[in-house]
Amino acid sequence: MNRHLFAALALAFLPAVSAAQGKAPDSPVFKASPPAACAGCGVVSSVKRIEKAPRITAQERESTAGFVVQVPGGGDKAVVGSATDAREQLKPPVVSYEVVVRLDDGRFQLVVQDDAGGLREGDKVRIDRGKVVPREK
């Protein structure tokens, strides 16, 4: 029985001994794997500019309420509205960009970000911390 136990242990440790001597056996465990592909890399499929009306906070709504009349010179129509409406027209729109990336594995990913960063359709990119950036060459 001791012989069988010794033979089983010797066979179990044979790959480890071969590896320690610098010789890798013909086992899939010891074969070199190809370099890992970039998981967030791909090509820009589209870039779309999105404009949304600015948000008026509760404090801005309550600050100055009133009736506003704008009378332009030159015979144009007068505009009538509230102070809140006038403030909304003065604030610039909130701009964001929807960037669709076709990843190297075939999937698509939509990323919404504040700046397009000069991205165009066909650019090679990677997604880094939720933002689309050009890929290093």
Q: Are residues 103 and 59 in the same domain?
A: yes
The total domain count for the chain is 2
Q: Are residues 22 and 37 in the same domain?
A: no
- Output the pLDDT for position 128: 94
Residue type (1 letter), 10: A
Stronger pLDDT, 52 or 62, i.e. the higher one: 52
Q: Is 118 helix (H, G, I), strand (E, B) or coil?
A: coil
Residue 30 in this model has a pLDDT that exceeds 90: no
CA 38, 43, 46, 52 dihedral sign is positive
Q: Are residues 44 and 68 in the same domain?
A: yes
- Output the pLDDT for position 134: 95
Determine whether 125 is exposed, middle or buried from the number of CB atoms within 10 Å of its CB (0-12, 13-18, 19+): buried
Phi and psi dihedrals of 28, rounded to 5? -60, -20
Residues of the domain holding 90? 33-134
Q: Are residues 60 and 107 in the same domain?
A: yes
DSSP class of residue 126?
Answer: E
101 neighbors 43 (Cβ within 8 angstroms): yes
Q: Are residues 60 and 18 in the same domain?
A: no
The model's pTM is 0.53
Q: Are residues 69 and 25 in the same domain?
A: no
Q: Are residues 102 and 66 in the same domain?
A: yes
Q: Which of 8-17, 76-85, 89-98, 100-109 has the lowest mean pLDDT?
A: 8-17
Of 95, 71, 92, the closest CA to residue 81 belongs to 71
Q: Are residues 86 and 121 in the same domain?
A: yes
Q: Are residues 70 and 111 in the same domain?
A: yes
Q: What single string gives the DSSP state of each residue in 6-18? A: HHHHHHHHHHHHH
Q: Are residues 55 and 93 in the same domain?
A: yes
pLDDT digits (tens, 9 = 90+) for 13-27: 555 555 555 545 555
Listed in sequence order, the DSSP H helices in the chain are 2-20, 58-63, 83-90
Q: Are residues 26 and 63 in the same domain?
A: no
Stronger pLDDT, 62 or 4, i.e. the higher one: 62
